[in-house]
Chains A and B, each alone.
Chain A
Amino acid sequence: DAGVIQSPRHEVTEMGQEVTLRCKPISGHDYLFWYRQTMMRGLELLIYFNNNVPIDDSGMPEDRFSAKMPNASFSTLKIQPSEPRDSAVYFCATRDRGAYNEQFFGPGTRLTVL
């Protein structure tokens, strides 16, 4: 398996633009997590899905952020409109349904909003 795949790996955009980050989970994994990592706040959970259904989005910073998982093979995290404070590395991670299974992280998308 290729592991968790994220695209793009780097994104540079201007303030006000829409940004879409993509994640392809490991086949068969039931849980998908979106995290954000910044120097100031470290790693934070934004939202997670179980069987394509959003379970907890309490970490989504504001209405400008939205996430979808239309099927078991694909998820998106969208920021509209983007702001400079959204600059961070965004990680997608997935895991199997077993209660004590580890999470597998994607390589991350480094977002810079100018």
Chain B
Amino acid sequence: SAVISQKPSRDICQRGTSLTIQCQVDSQVTMMFWYRQQPGQSLTLIATANQGSEATYESGFVIDKFPISRPNLTFSTLTVSNMSPEDSSIYLCSVLKRSGQVVEAFFGQGTRLTVV
């Protein structure tokens, strides 16, 4: 299993500012995933964070808006830059862990962001 500590759990931010979200995993993982869940929507993958290389962004998400750091195998940060009210969402980090043939997903508690 994996335990993921994500912080902050929630924040209210002014438009134009930036917020950095942190995720700490209790074991080493190759890839960490960052998701966004907008109000009333499903989870959308923002990017995959790989240790030692640049993150891979999904269509519609760019590094300038969502810079990601992955300094080691247990930690990652996602920054939401130059925020606008449209960025109000829940942001989640996730890892996939394999045990033999079993692959399971684990999630952080989420960060509920409100931009005013």
Q: Do A and B bind each other?
A: no
Residues of B within 8 A of A (CB): none
